[in-house]
């Protein structure tokens, strides 16, 4: 059996992988579960159609590879990026539990102790992105937070939106999901790393309550009005701990100057209050959801 392929090897070739099945679809393209012919390794292959010149596609592929290279255990590993047959193909680490969005379809809500364990890992990923890579994610949402049966939680698609936007000139196609945008972003103002913290607050609130914190909007302007003009959403205090309510409030401050950084939030009491329970996140994720593929 050939040795396992590592991200630093640059050995992957699209001709050497077989498609197993489609495991995700988004506005930018599809994600397939693929298997390497020689090692038997599974990967996730994200294929993005970008309607720009071939030279620009090649530049996007190069930038994505550089951007996604990391040694952080809280970010999905990128193995290779290709420009192939008119599309950008990104070979990624396969997370067999899917995303938080997939999990929520099965369990509807996630209990606080497991949310705290999930949130710790997401925050450590954000700390690395913000302070080591100097990247704003810009599209943090349940479908971009991936999980596996070992209890690992990893951020995916970091920096993809800004590279595609910058390279292709398509201002509104890849700038992220409007629903999770911070007030300063959705109103077109300047924004920084702290805009990701607002998105994290909405994700945690959605995972806890089982529904997106804002009512359905018929169009972008209705959502903008709700986010900018209405009070920030908060968990029902009779259903959740004071610590969780405090954590969400710290994330969902409408003034970005009042929002806490990822590093500060990692010290929040909510994240340590269940430590004595020895929460087994791997067992929960394995039992609560069903892996997308088991062989």
Active site residues: 139
Nearest to 248 by CA among 209, 288, 190, 193: 209
Nearest to 208 by CA among 125, 112, 65, 136: 112
Nearest to 274 by CA among 133, 113, 115: 113
What does the alpha-carbon distance between residue 9 and residue 38 come to, in Å, rounded to a whole number? 15
CA 56 to chain CA mean position, Å: 25
Sign of CA dihedral 201, 179, 227, 175: positive
- Please list, in sequence order, all residues whose beta carbon lies within 8 angstroms of the beta carbon of residue 185, skipping any fewer than 6 positions away: 138, 176, 191, 195
Helix (H) or strand (E) holding 92: strand 87-93
What does the alpha-carbon distance between residue 239 and residue 177 come to, in Å, rounded to a whole number? 28
Q: At what angle do helices 54-68 and 160-168 cross, to 10 degrees?
A: 160
Helix (H) or strand (E) holding 47: strand 42-49
Q: Which tokens hold the place of 112?
A: 């606080």
> Any known ligand binding at 46?
yes
Which positions make up the binding site for ATP? 46
């Amino acid at each position: 059996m050939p040795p396992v392929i590592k991200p630093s090897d640059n050995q992957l070739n699209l001709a050497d992988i077989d498609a197993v099945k489609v495991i995700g679809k988004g506005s930018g393209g599809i994600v397939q579960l693929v298997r390497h012919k020689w090692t038997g390794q599974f990967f996730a292959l994200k294929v993005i159609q970008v309607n720009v010149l071939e030279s620009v596609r090649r530049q996007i592929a190069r930038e994505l590879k550089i951007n996604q290279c990391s040694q952080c255990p809280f970010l999905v590993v990128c193995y290779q990026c290709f420009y192939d047959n008119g599309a950008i193909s990104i070979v990624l680490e396969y997370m067999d539990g899917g995303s938080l969005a997939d999990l929520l379809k099965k369990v509807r809500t996630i209990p606080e102790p497991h949310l705290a364990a999930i949130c710790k890992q997401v925050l450590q990923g954000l700390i690395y992105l913000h302070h080591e890579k100097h990247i704003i994610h810009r599209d943090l949402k349940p479908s971009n937070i991936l999980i596996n049966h070992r209890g690992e939680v990893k951020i995916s698609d970091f920096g993809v939106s800004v590279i595609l936007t910058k390279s292709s000139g398509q201002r509104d196609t890849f700038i992220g999901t409007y629903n999770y945008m911070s007030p300063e972003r959705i109103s077109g103002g300047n924004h920084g790393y702290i805009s990701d913290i607002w998105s994290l607050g909405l994700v945690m609130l959605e995972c806890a309550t089982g529904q997106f914190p804002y009512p359905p909007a018929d169009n972008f302007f209705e959502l903008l009005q709700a986010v900018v003009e209405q009070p920030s959403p908060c968990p029902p205090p009779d259903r959740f701990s004071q610590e969780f309510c405090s954590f969400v409030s710290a994330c969902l401050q409408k003034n970005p100057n009042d929002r806490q950084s990822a590093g500060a939030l990692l010290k929040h009491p909510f994240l340590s209050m269940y430590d004595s329970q020895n929460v087994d996140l791997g067992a929960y994720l394995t039992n609560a959801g069903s892996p997308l593929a088991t062989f």
